[in-house]
A and B are shown apart, each in its own frame.
Chain A
Amino acid sequence: MPNQDPGIRSANFEEVALGYTEETARKEAERCLQCKKPACTEGCPVGVLIPQFILALREGNMTKAVEAMKAKNNLPAICGRVCPQEVQCEGKCILGKKGEPVAIGRLERFVGDFELAQRTCPLVSAPATGKKIAVVGTGPAGLTCAVDLAREGHKVTMFESLHGPGGVLVYGIPEFRLPKGVVFGEINYAVECLGIDIRTDHVVGRSVSLNELLGDYDAVFLGTGAGLPSFMRIPGINLNGVMSANEFLTRVNLMKGYLFPQYSTPVKAGKKVAVIGGGNVAMDSARCSARIQALQAKQTNGGRGEVHIVYRRSKDELPARMEEVHHAEEEGIIFDLLTNPVEIIGDSSGKVVGIRCIRMELGEPDASGRRKPVPIAGSEFDMEVDTVIMALGTSPNPLVFVDADGLERTKHGTAVADAESGRTRKQRVWAGGDVVTGAATVISAMGAGKRAAADMHKYLKSEAPW
């Protein structure tokens, strides 16, 4: 699939991957072997009927392709863009054993985009059941759960603390990976078809509590994600210029800070940015920083600056998708591997001027199975930077647990819920996605939303008592 040229794209926020044309999509679809026992579908957390949709695509029957897709996945234009296909469907593709697997993700995106534009196959609801459901959080878990339940005829109301729906799809994932138009397109389409009510600006735990929701609704699903940022426990964390990836990305993505001052939320990426961490969020932060630098350089006719990824393990252990690492490298991001900050250095006005780092080496494997990084004594050195972005993972927001007695939490702050059904320890409350697993992927959250919806439906039909 063609991409925007790295030199050009690193100075704009437009989508990097340009997508298939009808011709290239059909050509790719021709490669599918139509396996009798499709391993690809087994590799998909929501079990998309992959050979079926690819066959329809190949036959040029787009309506049928969309139908096959939407039987399992309500948000294909999103999944086609952000799923880690290399470890899921494409990772299992037989063709991948000897050569390139079928580009299932790209084909999924093609079908999703087609449907967003054409609307050939609107979602329909079963006759109304009279049951009312509250879904808390409008990210991937909540959306999937809401759509599945609404299709069964239940009346679904969604609660969102921010001013628009989408959760991490909007505040976290940048425009150049997942355009907001695609997210809102998918959400609006589903919501309009199924009559789902979305209440934005409602903070569950503050505006309304879980216990109150249980008074008004027959069942509640919590898909509140993992929105709480982590900061390193090192000196200098409160200096000006140190921020969480959440703050930086929210300024850029949700608030459109890259369009400041037309949009009122400012965003700063200094001349030399250090992003701490090696996951997808770190890559997103680094690539957004480079773009902000380029836009600001254009305004001031200055140089573009530098963006560094500072990661304590080696390249092999980077938790980010390889594609994201590759894109970041292409865009000129500098990787400082086996390097760990020990202190952030500020000037007399309280502004960041550098980070003190220590070199690391890999020791024995730790609990995660990855080799544990060990500091090399005496290897400290200073790096001159003016911005530090902490992309060190997130944990669930505790607000939803306010006035929610009986909703148990683990010591990591995640909700205790059954992995299969999504049932929590509190009656009539289900949970899924990052609020249960801690920060993970969009598609695993969607899978959890889907499984919970199935169990909630059974419960509401009195087929599966609590």
Chain B
Amino acid sequence: MYKILEKQAFSDVTKLMVIEAPHVAQKAKAGQFIIVRIDEQGERIPLTIADYDSKAGTITIIFQEVGQSTMHLGSLKPGDMLATFVGPLGHPTEIENFGTVICMGGGVGIAPIYPIARSLKQAGNTVISIIGARSKDLLFWEDKMRAVSDELHICTDDGSYGRKSLVTDPLKEILQANSGEDKNSVAKVWAIGPAIMMKFVSLTTKPFNVPTIVSLNTIMIDGTGMCGGCRVLLDEGAKFVCVDGPEFDGHKVDWTSLLSRLQFYREEEKTAVDHWKHTCNLEKAIVDGGK
């Protein structure tokens, strides 16, 4: 069992948790993920590592309540225990001094882009960061991102904070400004966020020929290469996100297939949420009735 040590709510739906998991923390690196399962009935859900502290033996996760499992997770409190916490899984981000790099985080993707930006900064890169969300209340860690970035751009879809635009707008401008005769002085772009955002970031960088790394969060069960549910189509064929990724060359990903696979259990997700809400209401009614 793994203890929840801290919890912070960035918004009604975006939550941070610090989990006591020394066996994961001692090995964790930027770019890797964990799998969490709440209890005996729970499903195994992959979440990218937002931060880690090997001395304290802790892992920080940030998640958005989008389905039954994340809603359940979000309802837990410090001191509560998690049944399963596995990791670190996947390959870490390849960190070296590339020169000038762009780190992009969309929504809850701001969490995993942070340790990558930090590691890139520590390795001597000039780090330009672009973070965005639908609205101001879904943004977080502006201060932390600013601390590891040479330049920070903030966008919201509705203009409630920062610039009213998609993250691809400033990206395009920066790439244009850095375009030389035959090459771009931006060496590499990392993008983490909703699949649709990563798709459009990849489409934006493609004409500039700037290598673009995306971190995919697909449906998976074991996270160790066993189920193959996470497979993604690349130019060279199918790969497993859990063991071959989670980072891939965004220009090679078949986004249509990826987006369609993410939708496969949509109906079941709705059923699970209804079941969860129904159970919660029942429990509440029992507690209220007992008063």
Listed in ascending order, the chain A residues whose CB lies under 8 Å from chain B are 161-163, 171, 199-203, 206-208, 227-229, 231, 237-238, 240-241, 243-244, 246-247, 250-251, 254-256, 260-266, 268, 349-351, 397-399
Task: Give the docked Cα–Cα distance between A208 and B27 (Å).
Answer: 8
The CB with the most chain A CB atoms within 10 A, among B42, B224, B261, B275, is that of B224
Q: List 30 A-B contacts (CB under 8 A).
A: A161-B224, A162-B222, A163-B83, A201-B84, A203-B87, A203-B223, A207-B86, A227-B226, A228-B226, A229-B226, A238-B233, A238-B238, A238-B257, A243-B229, A244-B228, A247-B221, A251-B227, A254-B221, A256-B41, A260-B271, A261-B274, A264-B42, A264-B43, A266-B272, A268-B264, A350-B257, A350-B260, A397-B224, A397-B226, A399-B243
Task: Give the docked Cα–Cα distance between A241 and B83 (Å).
Answer: 29
**Interface pair B85/A250, CB less than 8 Å apart:** no
Task: Give the docked Cα–Cα distance between A266 and B261 (Å).
Answer: 14
Q: Chain B residues near A397 (CB, 8 Å)? A: 224-226
Question: In the complex, which residues 233-291 of chain B have their Cβ closer than 8 Å to any Cβ of chain A?
Answer: 233, 238, 243, 254, 256-257, 260-261, 263-265, 268-269, 271-272, 274-276
Q: Chain A residues near B229 (CB, 8 Å)? A: 243-244, 247
Question: Is the C-beta of B172 less than 8 angstroms from some C-beta in chain A?
Answer: no
* Known interface pairs A207-B88, A241-B264; 13 further A-B residue pairs with C-beta atoms within 8 A, sorted by A's residue number: A201-B23, A203-B224, A206-B89, A231-B231, A231-B238, A237-B238, A238-B231, A238-B257, A238-B261, A240-B261, A240-B263, A261-B272, A264-B42
Q: Chain B residues near A199 (CB, 8 Å)? A: 23
**Interface pair A208/B23, CB less than 8 Å apart:** yes
**Interface pair A163/B257, CB less than 8 Å apart:** no
Question: Is the C-beta of B64 less than 8 angstroms from some C-beta in chain A?
Answer: no
**Interface pair B85/A201, CB less than 8 Å apart:** yes
Task: Give the docked Cα–Cα distance between A265 and B269 (Å).
Answer: 9
Question: Is the C-beta of B24 less than 8 angstroms from some C-beta in chain A?
Answer: yes
Question: Is the C-beta of B44 less than 8 angstroms from some C-beta in chain A?
Answer: yes
Closest B residue to A207 using CB positions: B23
Closest B residue to A199 using CB positions: B23
Q: Chain A residues near B223 (CB, 8 Å)? A: 203
**Interface pair B84/A163, CB less than 8 Å apart:** yes
Q: Chain B residues near A264 (CB, 8 Å)? A: 41-43, 68-69, 272
Q: Chain B residues near A268 (CB, 8 Å)? A: 264-265, 268
**Interface pair A231/B228, CB less than 8 Å apart:** yes
Main secondary structure of the interface of B (DSSP, over half): mixed
Q: How far is the CB of B262 from chain A (nearest CB, A)?
A: 10
Task: Give the docked Cα–Cα distance between A199 and B2 (Å).
Answer: 13
Main secondary structure of the interface of A (DSSP, over half): loop
Q: How far is the CB of B26 from chain A (nearest CB, A)?
A: 8
**Interface pair A266/B86, CB less than 8 Å apart:** no
**Interface pair A263/B41, CB less than 8 Å apart:** yes
**Interface pair B222/A161, CB less than 8 Å apart:** yes
Task: Give the docked Cα–Cα distance between A161 and B44 (Å).
Answer: 13
Q: Chain B residues near A240 (CB, 8 Å)? A: 260-261, 263-264
With A237-B238, A266-B265 known as contacts, the answer to whether A399 contacts B23 (CB < 8 A) is no
Q: How far is the CB of A118 from chain B (nearest CB, A)?
A: 27
Task: Give the docked Cα–Cα distance between A457 and B43 (Å).
Answer: 40
Q: How far is the CB of B88 from chain A (nearest CB, A)?
A: 6
Closest A residue to B229 using CB positions: A247
Closest B residue to A257 using CB positions: B43
**Interface pair B221/A265, CB less than 8 Å apart:** yes
Q: How far is the CB of A276 from chain B (nearest CB, A)?
A: 14
Task: Give the docked Cα–Cα distance between A250 and B223 (Å).
Answer: 12
Q: How far is the CB of A358 from chain B (nearest CB, A)?
A: 22
Q: How far is the CB of B66 from chain A (nearest CB, A)?
A: 14
Task: Give the docked Cα–Cα distance between A246 and B85 (Å).
Answer: 21
Q: Chain A residues near B24 (CB, 8 Å)? A: 207
**Interface pair B41/A262, CB less than 8 Å apart:** yes
**Interface pair B238/A246, CB less than 8 Å apart:** no
Q: Chain A residues near B224 (CB, 8 Å)? A: 161, 203, 206, 227, 397, 399
Task: Give the docked Cα–Cα distance between A207 and B81 (Å).
Answer: 20
Q: Chain A residues near B243 (CB, 8 Å)? A: 398-399
